[in-house]
A and B are shown apart, each in its own frame.
Chain A
Amino acid sequence: MYLIALAGPNKQSAEIYWAVANSGGMILAPAFLHFVINFCGYKRPLVLKTAYAFAIVFVLLTMIGKMDFSLRFVKYGFYYASAHAPLYHAEAMLWILIVLYGHWLLFSAIKGADREKQIQIRYLAVAMLIGFVSGGTSHWLYVYRVDLHPAWNIFIAVYCLLVTYSIFRHKLLGLDFVIRKGLAYSLLLSIITFFYFLVLVILENVFQKSVGYQPVYSISVLAMAILLGEPLRVKIQHIIDYSFFKGDVKSLSAERELLHNEIVKQDRMKAVATLAAGMAHEIKNPLTSIKTFAEYLPIKYDDPEFRKKFSRIVVDEVDRVNNIVKQLLEFSKPSELQVRPILASDLLDQTLSLLSNNLLENGIELTKHFDVYAMIQGDKNQLKQAFLNLLLNGTQSMKSGGNLTVSCVTQPNDLVRISFVDSGCGIPKENLPHIFDPFYTTREEGTGLGLAIVHSIITKHGGKIEIQSEVGKGTTVNVFLKSRD
Chain B
Amino acid sequence: MPKSTKPVVLICDDEEGIRESFKLILEDLYDLRFANNGLEALELLKSFTPSLMLLDIKMPKMHGMEILKRVKQLKPKLPIIIVTGYQSVEMAQEALKLGAADYIPKPFETRQIQKVVASLCRQ
Q: Which residues of A are interface residues toward B (Cβ below 8 A)?
A: 277, 280-293, 295-296, 300, 306, 309, 313, 316-317, 442-444
Contacts and interface: CB of A to CB of B under 8 A. Distances in A.
Nearest to B56: A285
Interface stretch (B3-11, B47-55, B73-81, B104-112): B104-112
A292 B21 contact: yes
A288 B86 contact: no
B86 A281 contact: yes
B67 to A, nearest CB: 15
A284 B105 CA distance: 9
A226 B106 CA distance: 76
Contacts of B106: 284-285, 287-288
B31 interface: no
A281 B105 CA distance: 10
A292 B85 contact: no
Contact of A280 (B17, B20, B86): B86
25 contacts: A277-B88, A280-B85, A280-B86, A280-B87, A281-B58, A281-B85, A283-B85, A284-B85, A284-B107, A285-B17, A285-B18, A286-B17, A288-B21, A288-B106, A288-B107, A289-B17, A289-B18, A293-B21, A293-B24, A296-B24, A300-B24, A313-B17, A313-B20, A317-B17, A444-B61
Q: Which secondary structure dominates where chain A touches chain B?
A: helix
B16 interface: yes
A259 B54 CA distance: 46
Interface string B86-123: 11100000000000000001111010000000000000
Would you call the interface of chain B mostly helix, strand, loop, or mixed?
loop
B25 interface: yes
Nearest to B60: A444
Contact of A285 (B15, B24, B87): B15
B18 to A, nearest CB: 6
A269 to B, nearest CB: 17
Given A277-B86, A281-B85, A288 B17 contact: yes
B91 to A, nearest CB: 10
Given A281-B58, A292-B21, A287 B86 contact: no
Interface of B: 14-18, 20-21, 24-25, 58, 60-61, 84-88, 105-108, 110
B30 to A, nearest CB: 16
Contacts of A443: 60
A444 B62 CA distance: 11
A281 B83 CA distance: 12
A287 B18 CA distance: 10
B85 A285 contact: yes
Nearest to B87: A280
A-B pairs with lowest CB-CB distance, top 7 = A289-B17, A284-B85, A292-B21, A281-B85, A444-B60, A288-B107, A284-B106
B18 A288 contact: yes
A317 to B, nearest CB: 5
Nearest to B14: A444
Nearest to A283: B85
Nearest to A289: B17
Contact of B17 (A295, A316, A442, A444): A316
A296 B111 CA distance: 12
A47 B38 CA distance: 64
A54 to B, nearest CB: 65
Contacts of A288: 17-18, 21, 85, 106-108
Most chain A CB within a 10 A radius of its CB, from B15, B58, B106: B106
